[in-house]
Structure 1
Amino acid sequence: MANEGTSADLPWQPPTSVEQQLYDAGLNSDWTRYFEVLAGTDLFLPMSRELADAVPGRLRFSPFHHPDVKGPCLPVYTRGMLPPPVADQIFERCELADLAKGWPRPARWLAVNPGTPVETFLPADPRKWKRRARNGSAESPLKTLWTGHRTGPMAHGLACGALLMVNNGAIWNHLGWQSGGYSEEKELLRAWWSVTGRGQWLEILERLLKGELISPAWEFVLRVRQAMIQEYGAVPDPVGWREAAERVLLSRTAEVVDRTGKPPEFDLDADIALAHQLIGQVLRYEARFRADGLMAADECVRSVLAWDFGRASCMARWGLGARLGELAETERAVLHASEGARQVYQSWGDYATGYILGRCLHFDSEEFGDWYTEMVTVFRILTTDPESPWLSVPWEHPAVDLTER
Structure 2
Amino acid sequence: MRHCWPTLPAPAPDPVFGLISLGVFAESWGNDERWLAVNPGTPCEAYFPPNPGLWKAHADRGKGSDVQLGTLRTLWVGAPLQGPVAHGLGCGALMNVSNGALWNAMGTHGNGYFLERKSLEQWWGVTDQNSWQGALDGLLKGKGVRGLWEFVLEIRSSLSQQFGGQVDPGLWRETAERVLLHSATERGGTASEAEVAGVKQLIGRITRYEGRFRADGILAANSRVRSALAWDYGRASCMARWGVGARFTDIPEAEQEVVHVSRLSKMTYNSWEEFAAGYILGRCLHFDDEQFGHWYTQMLHAHQVLATHAESPWRTIPWA
Q: Same fold per TM (> 0.5)?
A: yes
Asked whether the 8 Å contact 2:34–2:49 carries over to 1, the reply is: no
Once residues 324 and 279 of structure 1 are traced to their aligned partners in structure 2, the CA distance between those partners, rounded to angstroms, is 39
Query: Does the residue aligned with 2:247 lie in a helix, a strand or coil?
Result: coil
Residue 108, structure 1, aligned to residue 35, structure 2: yes
CA drift of 1:114 comes to 4.4
Once residues 244 and 37 of structure 2 are traced to their aligned partners in structure 1, the CA distance between those partners, rounded to angstroms, is 28
CA drift of 1:314 comes to 0.6
CA drift of 1:254 comes to 2.8
Query: Does the residue aligned with 2:19 lie in a helix, a strand or coil?
Result: strand
Structure 1 residues 391 and 89: CA distance shift in structure 2, 3 A: same
Per the alignment, residue 94 of structure 1 pairs with: 20
Per the alignment, residue 232 of structure 1 pairs with: 163
Aligned partner (choices 299, 307, 315) of residue 383 of structure 1? 307
Amino acid at match of 1:146: W
Once residues 206 and 304 of structure 1 are traced to their aligned partners in structure 2, the CA distance between those partners, rounded to angstroms, is 17
Asked whether the 8 Å contact 1:161–1:313 carries over to 2, the reply is: yes
Aligned partner (choices 196, 200, 211) of residue 272 of structure 1? 196
Once residues 262 and 40 of structure 2 are traced to their aligned partners in structure 1, the CA distance between those partners, rounded to angstroms, is 33
Structure 1 residues 157 and 250: CA distance shift in structure 2, 3 A: same
Amino acid at match of 1:139: Q
CA drift of 1:199 comes to 1.4
Q: Which aligned pairs between 1:79-228 and structure 2 lie closer than 5 A?
A: 81-103=7-29, 105-108=32-35, 110=37, 114-116=41-43, 121-136=47-62, 138-139=67-68, 141-147=71-77, 148-228=79-159
CA drift of 1:112 comes to 6.2
Deviation digits for residues 345-385 of structure 1 (CA, Å, limit 9, x no counterpart): 11111111100000000001111111111111111111122
Deviation digits for residues 313-359 of structure 1 (CA, Å, limit 9, x no counterpart): 01111122112222222111111111111111111111111000000
Per the alignment, residue 34 of structure 1 pairs with: none
Query: Does the residue aligned with 1:325 lie in a helix, a strand or coil?
Result: coil
Asked whether the 8 Å contact 1:249–1:268 carries over to 2, the reply is: no
Residue 345, structure 1, aligned to residue 269, structure 2: yes
Amino acid at match of 2:85: M
Per the alignment, residue 54 of structure 1 pairs with: none
Once residues 123 and 98 of structure 1 are traced to their aligned partners in structure 2, the CA distance between those partners, rounded to angstroms, is 16
Once residues 252 and 199 of structure 1 are traced to their aligned partners in structure 2, the CA distance between those partners, rounded to angstroms, is 36
Query: Does the residue aligned with 2:73 lie in a helix, a strand or coil?
Result: coil
Residue 246, structure 1, aligned to residue 191, structure 2: no
Structure 1 residues 103 and 393: CA distance shift in structure 2, 3 A: farther
Amino acid at match of 2:183: R
Deviation digits for residues 210-256 of structure 1 (CA, Å, limit 9, x no counterpart): 11221000111001111111222212111011111112112212322
Deviation digits for residues 28-66 of structure 1 (CA, Å, limit 9, x no counterpart): xxxxxxxxxxxxxxxxxxxxxxxxxxxxxxxxxxxxxxx
Per the alignment, residue 229 of structure 2 pairs with: 305
Calculate percent identity across the aligned residue pairs. Answer: 46
CA drift of 1:102 comes to 3.9
Moved runs in structure 1, 4+ residues, more than 6 A?
A: none
CA drift of 1:170 comes to 1.2
Moved more, 139-148 or 269-278: 139-148
RMSD over aligned Cα atoms:
2.1
Asked whether the 8 Å contact 1:307–1:356 carries over to 2, the reply is: yes
Asked whether the 8 Å contact 1:143–1:170 carries over to 2, the reply is: yes
Aligned partner (choices 10, 17, 38) of residue 3 of structure 2? 17
Query: Does the residue aligned with 2:18 lie in a helix, a strand or coil?
Result: strand
Moved more, 166-175 or 122-131: 122-131
Structure 1 residues 242 and 320: CA distance shift in structure 2, 3 A: same
Query: Does the residue aligned with 2:256 lie in a helix, a strand or coil?
Result: helix
Query: Does the residue aligned with 1:94 lie in a helix, a strand or coil?
Result: coil
Unaligned runs of 5+ in 1: 1-15, 20-79, 258-263, 397-405
Deviation digits for residues 123-173 of structure 1 (CA, Å, limit 9, x no counterpart): 443322332344457336322111111111101101111111111111111
Per the alignment, residue 320 of structure 1 pairs with: 244
Once residues 7 and 48 of structure 2 are traced to their aligned partners in structure 1, the CA distance between those partners, rounded to angstroms, is 18
Q: Which aligned pairs between 1:10-89 and structure 2 lie closer than 5 A?
A: 17=3, 19=5, 81-89=7-15
CA drift of 1:81 comes to 1.2
Deviation digits for residues 73-111 of structure 1 (CA, Å, limit 9, x no counterpart): xxxxxxx61212212321111244344444483432545
